[in-house]
């Protein structure tokens, strides 16, 4: 019961009015940063660190953590309302989120995303309190070969995202892989597809690509049918989810929590992987999988839960091992260090009061986010009432600012514009965008882990099959890839209707 | 139709306005020493890495004291990318008028121009070194349950069975990779490098999960791991023992002449007028040797080790020579 006592002590510290204010400010700022397309959690947290240097350690870390998970929620808002992902990890939410907006269910989508985020974040924090140590060790079991095998499972889910045409899905996926190849080869050090431009040595910025392909191309495609009005803002009554929507979201939220929590424990995973795989899981396992892509609540609730569960679970390796599991956490770790706190087990012995206050604030922050966002759903949806010309201009402005702030360079603005044109072309050719995002996110991680694995085994491919975890995962991946083929060969009469 | 036109017009205006902001409003009057720095004209301190990292943290600690010493604003500007190359290109491309200085770190700044395929537009001579701030020496560590208890045990084993043990680096041609190459060059011990291009945290994670045998890292990376008993540091690649790891012998003590590590300092673009260089150098020395800055740096596990501009330049040239010698070893593609 020691843990509980210390947690209660943490709550006492976190509930002082100053710290509550910091948590609230962090949630609010995080939501705003999340709403702005392109300005991501990394940039957001990094920009605000200098401001917090003079605050006391507990307060400043509480605020930065709140910003960090607040952005995960804020990213949803523009994804759902405007088909423009505010964050990379919300890119997949655009598919069903925007479809729901077109059906007049924008309010329901946002409410369910907020509730899902709350559940995911809270469950992950409970894990942090009661099982941090074993969970942290669990994450370490995933070495490069296991990581690679996990990526194989991820890429195999391309099959699930294919939609009408497998060929078009593969075209889209291959494009994503090609784009992710640009830059310095992570192992041999040779520049690839950089055309002698040193700006391209780091590759094209993922955020600029996502904002361009999804957001800008959406705005560009308005031109074609500018006479037809945009989606209507829903009335006050349709803001709340219906009973059916609640019921359908529950299993999706549960799956999203599982996916996000599990992947969040693994150092090197990003929130985008969680939301993508959660969407793919819905495509595979949801009872309503055939409605996904047409405005199914599962497509919003699942990924949005997953990325919040991931954001909170990713703090476990930081607290137990002192390892930043993702780029955002690395920035957060920098803030810890600047305050003279070394993340890791020592934090609980040397500064246990602060450590528990931060953990308590995670619970408080998740509640604050829920309280902040559900009432604001009405306000956010009223964005849709703004006349189209003004709205698109404002969005465009924010996209340009967002792309610029990634590296403070105009180059990324042009990248964003270029990929906006590409996205428009793909839309007109009816090529789905989701497979491209999947390979863009997973491609570099897969390449890196493949090559690290082969360096460990010194070129021996059996490293993937001789280790139990990776062997099982590779098997699962192969099964998923083969599943449509198996169905194809079965006589029609034998295939059972999954919904029967 | 009119709606379409309005949309297009506003969008175009927004784009033009914003891209215009990116154009560099650089300084236009060369300063002549006495009136440097002009009141109200701020000095840009370019950090070639992202905010929140070690280089950025050091620069932000130094910044307020620089401001006090110089009597003007100093702005830390992050220009991350391509392992520092973007920021270094911006620094060396700036006017040498004292209003642009930058954080320079080796091996990145030393190595990037050595490899022609990277197309770096600068060399050693493009920088005017102003002062060195820290050295973070390289260390070699094994798993706590490893049979190797001393540096000699480990290196002999790696010599007898080359490439039988994997060793982490933070990427090709990084400080850790050069350290391995220098070990190979001096002692004949060969490890199989595994490059974790994402950086030190990925390398440490793989080491903690026992996916690699040997951890090559900097002192600041392993101080905490040693305290937790999760790594056994066998040797430190520097002339003297580190205060953070007083029990760890140096390579020299064990009889190997290997020195390696990460070094950080500050430089201006070459061609800076002497008088201005002197002023900047003096201000930097004050800031680097400031007791609170030093204290905060050592809390990060980093030992302040100031060198003047001239000495830093000599040190830099020496490192360049060391690196050139082992360059073929780190370029070999496994």
What is the model's pLDDT at position B51? 67
H runs (alpha helix) in A429-491? 434-457, 463-466, 468-489
pLDDT of A44 higher than 70: yes
B121 to A198: CB separation less than 8 angstroms, yes or no: yes
What confidence category does residue A270 fall into, taking pLDDT thresholds of 50, 70 and 90?
A: confident
Q: Return the top range by mean pLDDT from A26-30, A200-204, B158-162.
A: B158-162
Mean pLDDT (whole number) for A219-230: 62
A323 to B201: CB separation less than 8 angstroms, yes or no: yes
**Residue B185 contacts A, CB cutoff 8 Å:** no
Mean pLDDT (whole number) for A382-391: 81
Q: Which residues of B touch A269 (CB under 8 A)?
A: none
B86 to A390: CB separation less than 8 angstroms, yes or no: no
pLDDT digits (tens, 9 = 90+) for B17-59: 444 443 343 344 444 566 788 877 889 999 988 766 678 888 8
CATH code linked to domain B137-261: 3.40.190.10
Contacts of B170 (CB under 8 A, 6+ apart): B176, B177, B195, B196, B197, B199, B200, B202, B203, B217
Q: What angle do CA A478, A479, A483 make, to 5 degrees?
A: 120
A334 to B57: CB separation less than 8 angstroms, yes or no: yes
What is the model's pLDDT at position B148? 94
Higher-confidence residue: A242 or B17? Answer: A242
Q: Residue B268 is encoded by which pair of tokens?
A: 């201006």
> Is residue A500 one of the residues assigned to a domain?
no
Mean pLDDT (whole number) for A442-461: 89
What is the model's pLDDT at position A125? 92
What is the model's pLDDT at position B286? 92
Q: Give me the percent of chain A exceeding a pLDDT of 70.
A: 92
CA dist., res. B168 & res. A53, Å (int): 33
What is the model's pLDDT at position B306? 92
Asked if A388 contacts A230 with a C-beta cutoff of 8 angstroms, the reply is: yes
Q: What angle do CA A226, A415, B20 make, to 5 degrees?
A: 85
What is the model's pLDDT at position A489? 46
Q: Which residues of A touch B56 (CB under 8 A)?
A: 334
What is the model's pLDDT at position B161? 93
Between the CA of residue A292 and those of A85, A163, A283, A309, what are the distances in Å?
A: 18, 10, 7, 22
Q: Any idea how long chain A is?
A: 500
Asked if B148 contacts B154 with a C-beta cutoff of 8 angstroms, the reply is: yes
Q: Residue B46 is encoded by which pair of tokens?
A: 């370019």
Asked if B283 contacts B37 with a C-beta cutoff of 8 angstroms, the reply is: no
What is the model's pLDDT at position B165? 94
For residue A266, give the chain B residue with the closest CA: B205
Identity of the residue in B53, B81, B163 whose CB atom sits nearest the CB atom of A202? B81
- Give the best residue of A47, A137, A145, A189 to mutate against chain B (max B CB count within 10 A): A189
H runs (alpha helix) in A182-229? 206-210, 217-222
pLDDT of A62 higher than 60: yes
Asked if A26 contacts A48 with a C-beta cutoff of 8 angstroms, the reply is: no
pLDDT of B91 higher than 80: yes
What is the model's pLDDT at position A498? 43
- Give the best residue of A137, A452, A456 to mutate against chain B (max B CB count within 10 A): A452
What φ, ψ does residue B130 adopt, rounded to 5°? -110, -25
What is the model's pLDDT at position B328? 85
Q: Are strands A183-184 and B127-142 parallel, antiparallel or unpaired?
A: unpaired
pLDDT of B14 higher than 70: no
Q: Check the CA dihedral A350-A356-A362-A364 and report its sign.
A: negative
Mean pLDDT (whole number) for A194-208: 80
Choose the weakest-confidence range: A7-21, A58-72, A221-235, A441-455: A221-235
**Residue B64 contacts A, CB cutoff 8 Å:** no
Domain ranges of chain B: 38-135+262-330, 137-261
CATH code linked to domain B38-135+262-330: 3.40.190.150
What is the model's pLDDT at position B23? 39
Mean pLDDT (whole number) for B140-161: 94
Q: Check the CA dihedral B239-B240-B244-B246 and report its sign.
A: positive
Q: Which residues of B touch A324 (CB under 8 A)?
A: 201
Between the CA of residue A349 and those of A101, A341, A344, A352, what are the distances in Å?
A: 49, 11, 10, 5
List, in sequence order, every residue forming a beta bridge with B266; answer none if it has no partner. B103, B131
Q: What is the ipTM of this complex?
A: 0.78
pLDDT digits (tens, 9 = 90+) for A85-121: 877 788 888 889 988 988 888 889 999 999 999 999 9
**Residue B19 contacts A, CB cutoff 8 Å:** yes
Closest CA to B221 of B189, B191, B261: B261
> Is residue A499 one of the residues assigned to a domain?
no
Asked if A288 contacts A248 with a C-beta cutoff of 8 angstroms, the reply is: yes
Closest CA to A330 of B303, B80, B76, B261: B80
- Give A421: exposed, middle or buried? Use CB within 10 Å, 0-12, 13-18, 19+: middle
What is the model's pLDDT at position B181? 92
**Residue B161 contacts A, CB cutoff 8 Å:** no
What is the model's pLDDT at position A303? 93
CA dist., res. B222 & res. B245, Å (int): 9
Q: Give me the percent of chain B exceeding a pLDDT of 90.
A: 40
**Residue B162 contacts A, CB cutoff 8 Å:** no
For residue B201, give the chain A residue with the closest CA: A323
What is the model's pLDDT at position A198? 72
Closest CA to A476 of A139, A235, A145, A151: A151
> b/e map of B57-77 (b: 16 or more CB within 10 Å)?
bbbbbbbebbbebbebebebb
Identity of the residue in A199, A321, A407 whose CB atom sits nearest the CB atom of B208? A321
What is the model's pLDDT at position B77? 84
DSSP assignment letter at A399: H
Say whether the peptide bond before residue A168 is cis (omega within 30 degrees of 0). Answer: no
pLDDT digits (tens, 9 = 90+) for B244-288: 889 999 999 999 988 888 889 999 999 999 999 999 999 999 999
B209 to A45: CB separation less than 8 angstroms, yes or no: no
Q: Which residues of A touch B327 (CB under 8 A)?
A: none
pLDDT digits (tens, 9 = 90+) for B313-333: 999 998 888 888 888 888 755
What is the model's pLDDT at position B332? 55
What φ, ψ does residue B222 adopt, rounded to 5°? -105, -10
Closest CA to A151 of A276, A253, A265, A299: A276
**Residue B24 contacts A, CB cutoff 8 Å:** no
pLDDT of A492 higher than 70: no
Q: Which residues of B touch A341 (CB under 8 A)?
A: none
How close does chain B come to A398, measured CA to CA in Å? 10
Identity of the residue in B4, B15, B173 whose CB atom sits nearest the CB atom of A189? B173
Closest CA to B138 of B23, B233, B8: B233
- Give the best residue of A47, A267, A466 to mutate against chain B (max B CB count within 10 A): A267
Choose the weakest-confidence range: A119-123, A182-186, A317-321: A182-186
DSSP output for B10-41: HHHHHHHHHHHHHS-----S---STTPSPTTP
Place of tokens 């004209």: B41
How close does chain B come to A168, measured CA to CA in Å? 31
Query: First vs last Cα of chain A: how many Å apart?
Result: 48
H runs (alpha helix) in A103-143? 106-140
Between the CA of residue A54 and those of A231, A282, A388, A449, B24, what are the distances in Å?
A: 46, 45, 43, 40, 32
pLDDT of A230 higher than 70: no
B10 to A389: CB separation less than 8 angstroms, yes or no: yes
What confidence category does residue A338 fall into, taking pLDDT thresholds of 50, 70 and 90?
A: confident
CA dist., res. A484 & res. A471, Å (int): 22
CA dist., res. A23 & res. A17, Å (int): 10
Identity of the residue in B51, B166, B224 whose CB atom sits nearest the CB atom of A456? B166
- Number of domains chain A contains: 1
> Is residue A377 one of the residues assigned to a domain?
yes
Choose the weakest-confidence range: A38-42, A149-153, A472-476, B144-148: A38-42
How close does chain A come to B187, measured CA to CA in Å? 22
Mean pLDDT (whole number) for B197-201: 76
Q: Which residues of B touch A337 (CB under 8 A)?
A: 57, 299-300
Q: Which residues of A touch B208 (CB under 8 A)?
A: 140, 321, 323
A455 to B201: CB separation less than 8 angstroms, yes or no: no
pLDDT of B150 higher than 60: yes
pLDDT of B214 higher than 90: yes
Task: Classify B115 as helix, strand or coil.
Answer: coil
Mean pLDDT of chain A: 83
pLDDT digits (tens, 9 = 90+) for A121-155: 999 999 988 888 788 888 888 889 999 998 888 88
B52 to A267: CB separation less than 8 angstroms, yes or no: no
What is the model's pLDDT at position A177? 92
Q: Which domain covers residue A318, as residue numbers?
A: 2-494
Task: Classify B215 as helix, strand or coil.
Answer: strand
B119 to A267: CB separation less than 8 angstroms, yes or no: no
**Residue B220 contacts A, CB cutoff 8 Å:** no
Q: Return the top range by mean pLDDT from A83-92, A227-236, B190-199, B250-259.
A: B250-259
What is the model's pLDDT at position A499? 42
CA dist., res. B104 & res. B131, Å (int): 10
């Amino acid at each position: 019961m020691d843990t509980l006592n210390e947690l209660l002590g943490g709550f006492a510290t976190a509930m002082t009015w100053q710290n509550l204010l910091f948590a609230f400010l962090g949630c609010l700022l995080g939501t705003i940063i999340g709403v702005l397309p392109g300005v991501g959690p990394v940039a957001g947290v990094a920009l605000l660190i200098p401001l917090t240097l003079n605050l006391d350690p507990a307060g400043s870390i509480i605020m930065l953590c709140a910003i960090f998970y607040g952005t995960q929620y804020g990213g949803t808002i523009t994804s759902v309302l405007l088909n423009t992902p505010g964050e990379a990890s919300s890119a997949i939410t655009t598919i069903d989120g925007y479809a729901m907006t077109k059906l007049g269910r924008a309010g329901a989508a946002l409410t369910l995303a907020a509730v899902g985020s709350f559940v995911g974040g809270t469950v992950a924090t409970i894990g942090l309190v009661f099982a941090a140590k074993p969970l942290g060790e669990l994450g370490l079991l995933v070495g490069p070969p296991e990581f690679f095998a996990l990526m194989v499972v991820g890429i195999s889910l391309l099959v699930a995202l294919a939609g009408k045409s497998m060929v078009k899905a593969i075209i889209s996926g291959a494009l994503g892989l090609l784009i992710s190849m640009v830059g310095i080869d992570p192992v041999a050090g040779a520049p690839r597809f950089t055309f002698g431009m040193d700006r391209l040595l780091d590759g094209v910025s993922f955020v600029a690509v996502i904002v361009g392909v999804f957001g800008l191309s959406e705005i560009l495609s308005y031109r074609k049918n500018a006479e037809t009005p945009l989606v209507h803002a829903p009335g006050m009554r349709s803001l709340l989810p219906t009973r059916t929507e609640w019921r359908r979201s529950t299993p999706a939220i549960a799956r999203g929590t599982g996916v996000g929590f599990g992947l969040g424990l693994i150092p090197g995973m990003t929130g985008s992987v969680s939301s993508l795989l959660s969407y793919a899981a819905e495509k595979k396992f949801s009872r309503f999988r055939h409605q996904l892509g047409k405005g199914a609540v599962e497509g919003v609730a699942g990924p949005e839960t997953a990325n919040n569960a991931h954001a909170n679970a990713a703090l476990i390796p930081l607290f137990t091992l002192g390892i930043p599991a993702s780029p955002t956490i690395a920035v957060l770790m920098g803030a810890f260090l600047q305050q003279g706190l070394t993340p890791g087990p020592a934090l609980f012995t040397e500064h246990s009061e602060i450590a528990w206050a931060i953990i308590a604030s995670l619970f408080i922050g998740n509640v604050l986010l829920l309280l902040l966002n559900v009432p604001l759903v009405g306000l956010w949806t009223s964005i849709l009432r703004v006349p189209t010309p003004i709205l698109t201009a404002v969005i465009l402005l924010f996209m340009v600012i967002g792309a610029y702030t990634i590296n403070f360079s105009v180059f990324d603005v042009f990248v964003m514009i270029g990929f906006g044109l590409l996205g428009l072309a793909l839309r007109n050719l009816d090529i789905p965008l989701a497979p491209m995002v999947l390979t863009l996110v997973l491609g570099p991680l897969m390449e890196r882990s493949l090559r690290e694995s082969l360096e460990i085994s010194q070129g021996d491919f059996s490293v993937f099959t001789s280790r139990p975890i990776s062997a099982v995962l590779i098997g699962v991946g192969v099964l998923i890839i083969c599943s449509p083929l198996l169905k194809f060969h079965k006589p029609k009469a034998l295939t059972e209707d999954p919904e029967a | 139709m009119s709606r379409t036109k309005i949309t297009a017009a506003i969008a175009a205006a927004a784009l033009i306005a914003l891209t215009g902001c990116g154009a560099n409003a650089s300084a236009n009057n060369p300063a002549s020493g006495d009136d440097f720095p002009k009141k109200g004209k701020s000095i840009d301190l370019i950090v070639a890495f992202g905010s929140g990292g070690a280089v950025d943290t050091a620069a932000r600690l130094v910044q307020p004291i620089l401001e006090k010493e110089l009597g003007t604003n100093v702005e830390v500007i992050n220009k991350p990318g391509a392992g520092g190359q973007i920021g270094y290109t911006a620094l060396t491309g700036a006017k040498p008028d004292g209003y642009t200085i930058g954080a320079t770190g080796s091996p990145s700044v030393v190595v990037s121009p050595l490899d022609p395929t990277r197309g770096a537009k600068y060399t050693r001579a493009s920088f005017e070194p102003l002062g060195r701030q820290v050295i973070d020496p390289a260390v070699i560590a094994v798993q706590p349950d490893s049979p190797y208890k001393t540096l000699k045990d480990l290196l002999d084993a790696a010599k007898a069975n080359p490439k039988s043990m994997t060793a982490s680096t933070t990427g090709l041609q990084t400080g850790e990779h050069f350290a391995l190459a220098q070990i190979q060059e001096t002692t004949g011990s060969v490890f199989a490098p595994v490059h974790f291009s994402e950086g030190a945290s990925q390398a440490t994670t793989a080491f903690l999960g026992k996916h690699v045998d040997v951890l090559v890292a900097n002192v600041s990376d392993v101080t905490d791991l040693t305290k937790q008993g999760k790594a056994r540091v066998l040797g430190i690649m520097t002339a003297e023992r580190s205060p953070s790891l007083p029990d760890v012998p140096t390579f020299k003590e064990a009889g190997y002449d290997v020195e390696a590590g990460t070094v950080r300092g500050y430089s201006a673009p070459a061609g800076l007028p002497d008088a201005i260089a002197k002023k900047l150098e003096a201000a930097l020395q004050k800031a680097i040797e400031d007791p609170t800055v030093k204290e905060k740096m050592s809390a990060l596990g980093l030992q302040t080790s100031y060198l003047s501009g001239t000495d830093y330049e000599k040190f830099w040239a020496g490192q360049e020579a060391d690196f050139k010698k082992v360059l073929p070893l780190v370029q070999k593609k496994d």
